[in-house]
Structure 1
Amino acid sequence: MVAAPTLSAAGLAVGYPQRCVLSDVGLGLAPGTVTVLVGPNGCGKSTLLRTLAGLQPALAGTVRLGADDLTALSRRELARRLAFLPQSPLVPAGVAVQDLVRHGRYAHRGALRRHTADDRAAVDWALSVTHADELADRRIDELSGGERQRAWLATVLAQQAGVLLLDEPTTYLDLRHQLEVLEVVRGLARDHGIACGLVLHDLGQAAGYADHAVLAADGGVVAAGTPDEVFTAGHIRRAFELDVAVVRDPASGHLALFPRLDRGTADATVPAEAVAGSAFDTD
């Protein structure tokens, strides 16, 4: 595995020639950590992630991969060091999972070179770490949503990049499969030192799985830091114009967010036993 670089941005503005959606963004994705981008629909989360991945030019500011400016890297060099999984990748009909995962090695071997022992080892590792090895011989278009997402994760992991960016990897999945995917991502950071950055809609999941969070709204960053620093009632009210209760699970220590029906304004974290229900999803 390539040593994980830190992906960092400074003074970053992202958007389109006629419209800036986020400006003055500064952040860093550190090896072995999960960074989650959250915010209202249309605030620019996916645009920011695509800019960090080098798929969209920045309007201002810089993105660096380790010591290198992202714009100075060739497409192949970038793909060896950074992997990106879009929200809804096209599903190739009739392709077996193991063949799909082999495509992740193109940055290392080119289109015409034969697979090497290193390629085979990388594919086997990617299938194993995503628990997709049992799916290797099945066709991708015959899999369930959760199985398919694991196969796509294995494909980008076969690049053996130190940075992994995922755009809403839990979209369209049921709760069980959402948590399976997030557990895989958490394990990639914790056990393999990968710097993981992902966009999520569910604030409860973001609070539970993030080491670092970035909350975006109104054209900029509302808050950035640990989940405790970012997921406060005041920050959520500012970003979503919504009152929530912030709850800490006494067993896990993770935060969860619940709508406040009384429209209260208290900004304190309340004990878990004070609120019943499920984590608040902003989607």
Structure 2
Amino acid sequence: MHQIESGLHRRQGKALTNFARTLPAPQSELAQELIKDPYSFDFLALGPAMSERELEQGLLEHLRSLILELGKGFAFVGSQHPLEIGGQDYYLDLLFYHLRLRCFVVVELKIEDFKPEFAGKMNFYLSAVDDLLRHESDAPSIGIILCKGKNELIVEYALRDSTKPMGVAEYRLSAALPEPLQTELPTEAEFAREFPLMALVKLRMEVEREIRLLVADQADAERPLALGPMLAELHRLGMIPQTADRFRSALQIMNRAAHGLDVAPADASEATEIATAFLAELRAIRDRQLS
């Protein structure tokens, strides 16, 4: 175990995963290259007695540093993202969308060493995300389990028969990131270019979630999964916001951002303004329904 730990910082792209078996090429190779082991969270001022909630909160308070450490293409969707399954509520620690992989990435945080049951829980979450959040054009969702430590053989056994793509990596709260890995991080200029696209993707997810809640409140609603059909369903139910036509044009820009395509800064800014207004209208409609 000590030999495994001492060599992890030199194993960029070699985290323990089942991607080769659960993802098609070249998706599997790209996903493998993008996952690190270990992740360096040396920007956190946390001690060994921290709780999982404190770890999560610390990462959220340093979101920019977290995204830089995760690498290029990660767009933050939310923390404690809710999923309603079988009448019960479940919450994802961290949810991202990857602009190059074109898929959701579920991150589970553990303050202890890896246990086999972590893989079963992640398999469950990924099945739910694929059913409830994944779009038709998205690739299968991926899970990353971040642990304090791990036994390589236990991880291999736990992932061997898992049907969903996932990987297990460790994190470090101290020690500087090795020099060879610094070139893999986005530069300040690259981050500045990508951040508006990440914000657009997150905004798109918020709009979709709000529409889904509105549709779910209607007993006769058909509850379509894709965003376009859900807008049509809102129109059928007589709940379409006044800014819907402008939002449909902005949605084209948001979809380009979600799929990692280039978006002009002016277009991204305009789409953000339109979608923000549309989201506010959706929430106002739902508030009126609940009052």
Same fold flag (TM > 0.5): no
- Name whichever structure is richer in strand by fraction: 1
Give the structure with the larger helix fraction. Answer: 2
TM-score (normalizing by structure 1):
0.29
